[in-house]
Amino acid sequence: MRWFGFGFNAFGQIHASEKVIKDGRSDVTKEVKVIHPTELGKHVDTNGCCLQTSQIRASWSRRASLHLDGNSSMCLAGYGTGISNGPCGIPMEESHGCTDAHVNESYLTLVFVDRIECWNLQKEENTLSWSMEIKPPSESSETPVNFPLVFGGYIAPKPPFYHPLSPQLKARSLALGAEHAILLTASGTVYTWGLGSHGQLGHGSLTSEEEPRAVEALWGMPMSCVATGGWHSVCLSDGGDLYVWGWNESGQLGLPSRGLRKALQQQSTQQAGPLCPAASTASPEGEKHEEVFISIQAFPALLDVTPSCEIKTASCGSRHTAAVTTTGDLYTWGWGEYGQLGHQMLISSDEPQCVEFFKEQQMRVVDVECGAWNTFAAVIKEDVA
263 within domain boundaries: yes
In terms of residue numbers, what domain contains 258?
165-268+291-328
What are the two backbone dihedrals, phi and then psi, of residue 268, each rounded to the nearest 5 degrees? -65, -40
Better pLDDT: 364 or 48? 364
Is residue 78 a contact partner of residue 61, using CB atoms and an 8 Å limit?
yes
Mean pLDDT (whole number) for 203-229? 97
91 within domain boundaries: no
pLDDT digits (tens, 9 = 90+) for 331-373: 999 999 999 999 999 999 999 999 999 999 999 999 999 999 9
- Weakest mean pLDDT among 69-83, 194-208, 218-232, 289-303: 69-83
Better pLDDT: 68 or 326? 326
- Weakest mean pLDDT among 73-87, 129-143, 198-212, 287-301: 73-87
Better pLDDT: 241 or 268? 241
Could you tell me which of 139, 147, 137 has the C-alpha nearest to residue 113?
A: 137
Q: Is the pLDDT of residue 310 over 70?
A: yes
Mean pLDDT (whole number) for 227-243? 97
pTM of the model: 0.89
Question: Would you state the pLDDT for residue 143?
Answer: 63
The pLDDT-based confidence of 131 (bands split at 50, 70, 90) is: very high
Q: Is the pLDDT of residue 74 over 60?
A: yes
Q: Domain containing 242 — which CATH number?
A: 2.130.10.30
Question: Would you state the pLDDT for residue 285?
Answer: 53
Could you tell me which of 193, 214, 213, 215 has the C-alpha nearest to residue 202?
A: 215
Question: Would you state the pLDDT for residue 144?
Answer: 67
181 within domain boundaries: yes
Mean pLDDT (whole number) for 4-26? 72
Domain tally, the chain:
1
Question: Would you state the pLDDT for residue 271?
Answer: 64
Better pLDDT: 275 or 32? 32
The pLDDT-based confidence of 142 (bands split at 50, 70, 90) is: low
The pLDDT-based confidence of 41 (bands split at 50, 70, 90) is: confident
* Radius of gyration over every alpha carbon of the chain, rounded to an integer in angstroms: 22
235 within domain boundaries: yes
pLDDT digits (tens, 9 = 90+) for 254-307: 999 988 887 777 777 766 665 444 444 444 455 555 678 999 999 999 999 988
Of the ranges 71-80, 90-99, 302-311, 371-380, the best mean pLDDT one: 371-380
307 within domain boundaries: yes
Mean pLDDT (whole number) for 129-141? 78
pLDDT digits (tens, 9 = 90+) for 81-126: 754 345 556 788 889 999 999 999 999 999 999 999 999 998 877 7
237 within domain boundaries: yes
Question: Would you state the pLDDT for residue 265?
Answer: 73
236 within domain boundaries: yes
60 within domain boundaries: no
